[in-house]
């Protein structure tokens, strides 16, 4: 009886923790993390010109083209040149659902110029569900602008 009670207690504990990880589906107005009212938001493409000492603090707008499938801890926003900018949930403070891809979003936080190692680039590709062949083609580090988001709002 005691073992049964302990087993039931463990199962209930695990199921409640699993429910804590559920993500709200992306719909207009849904906020992940913390975003204040929109003020002077710039586009992803305008961001590079706004960097002061390789940093920017504020809001950006863009279209989500990719999301971390493992946890939902990062997204990529489309740039006009066909590339995408990495946006990570700062300190893993919030998670985003897979259906956020294709949505326009307002992101609040800080951008910095970073160098991403080959190992981390492969990790991100794996999280995005890329094939083994695509991952194998990744070579060397890459310098780019990354955004640490306090919050993301679906527009």
- Residue-number span of the structural domain to which 107 is assigned: 25-154
Residue 3: inside a domain, yes or no? no
pLDDT band at 22 (very low <50, low <70, confident <90, very high): low
Which stretch of 5-9, 27-31, 39-43, 108-112 has the lowest confidence by average pLDDT? 5-9
The answer as to whether 102 is a domain residue is yes
Residue 101 lies in a domain: yes
Per the CB < 8 A criterion, the answer to whether 90 and 131 are in contact is: no
Q: Is residue 124 part of a domain?
A: yes
**CATH number of residue 118's parent domain:** 2.40.50
Q: Is residue 16 part of a domain?
A: no
Domain membership of residue 91 (yes or no) is yes
What local confidence, expressed as pLDDT, does residue 21 receive? 46
Distances (CA, A) of 155 to 68, 107, 146: 20, 10, 21
69: β partners? none
Over range 16-21, report the average pLDDT: 40
Query: Does residue 148 have a pLDDT over 50?
Result: yes
Note whether residue 13 is domain-resident.
no
User: Mean pLDDT, to the nearest integer, of 126-138?
Assistant: 92
Q: How many CB atoms lie within 10 A of CB 94?
A: 19
How many structural domains comprise the chain?
A: 1
pLDDT at 10: 52
Percent of the chain with pLDDT over 70: 86
Count CA atoms closer than 13 A to 39's CA, side-chain side.
6
pLDDT score of 1: 55
44-97: per-residue pLDDT in tens?
999 988 988 889 999 999 999 999 999 999 999 999 999 999 999 999 999 999
For residue 152, the number of C-alpha atoms closer than 13 Å in the C-beta half-sphere is: 34
Confirm whether 14 is domain-assigned: no
Check pLDDT > 70 for residue 16. no
């Amino acid at each position: 009886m005691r073992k049964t009670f302990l087993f039931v207690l463990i199962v209930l504990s695990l199921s409640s923790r699993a429910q804590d990880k559920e993500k709200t589906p992306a719909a207009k107005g849904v906020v992940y993390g913390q975003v204040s009212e929109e003020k002077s938001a710039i586009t992803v493409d305008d961001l590079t010109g706004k960097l002061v000492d390789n940093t920017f603090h504020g809001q950006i707008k863009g279209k989500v083209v990719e999301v971390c499938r493992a946890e939902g801890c990062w997204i990529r926003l489309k740039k006009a040149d066909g590339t995408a900018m990495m946006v990570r949930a700062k300190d893993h403070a919030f998670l985003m659902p897979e259906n956020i891809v294709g949505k326009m979003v307002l992101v609040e936080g800080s951008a910095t110029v970073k160098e991403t190692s080959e190992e981390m680039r492969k990790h991100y590709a794996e999280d995005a569900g890329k094939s083994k062949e695509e991952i194998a083609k990744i070579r060397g580090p890459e310098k780019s602008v990354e955004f640490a988001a306090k919050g993301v709002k679906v527009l």
